[in-house]
């Protein structure tokens, strides 16, 4: 079974779908769990992320990239939004085996 990995110990591979846990900014803060990914600087091409208005341009690569940070997948659509900094993450579980 996979275990929660503290962000302070290790970050996930850039762009890999994961589950992450974070504290919202409410008073008092509440723990939330989301599915999404971490984007390392200039590794996720932003051409197909129409919603990312703050794409960063790399002159070296001559391409636009998603800004570095954590992104949450919203279930209502494929919109990706930046989230508060997660404290822990874990790989997605393996899918069920077909019968």
Within-domain flag for 24: yes
Q: For residue 19, what are its two tokens?
A: 């589950």
The confidence score (pLDDT) of residue 88 equals 96
Within-domain flag for 96: no
Within-domain flag for 75: yes
Range of the domain at 80: 5-91
Within-domain flag for 99: no
**24 Cβ contact list (under 8 Å, min separation 6):** 30, 32, 84
Q: pTM above 0.75?
A: yes
Q: What is the largest CA-CA distance in the chain?
A: 50
Res. 43: pLDDT tops 80 = yes
Q: What is the C-alpha separation between 76 and 11, in angstroms, rounded? A: 27
Instruction: Report which DSSP code applies to 48.
Output: T
Within-domain flag for 68: yes
Within-domain flag for 15: yes
Res. 67: pLDDT tops 50 = yes
Within-domain flag for 97: no
User: How many domains, the chain?
Assistant: 1
**84 Cβ contact list (under 8 Å, min separation 6):** 22, 23, 24, 25, 70
């Amino acid at each position: 079974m996979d275990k929660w990995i503290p962000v302070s110990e290790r970050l996930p591979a850039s762009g890999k779908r994961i589950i992450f846990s974070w504290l919202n900014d409410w008073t008092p803060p509440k723990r939330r769990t989301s599915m999404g990914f971490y984007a390392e600087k200039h590794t996720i091409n932003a051409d197909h992320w129409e919603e990312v208005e703050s794409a960063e341009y790399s002159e070296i690569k001559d391409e636009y990239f998603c800004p570095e940070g954590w992104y949450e997948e919203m279930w209502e659509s494929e919109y990706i939004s930046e989230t508060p900094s997660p404290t822990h993450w874990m790989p997605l579980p393996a899918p069920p085996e077909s019968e």
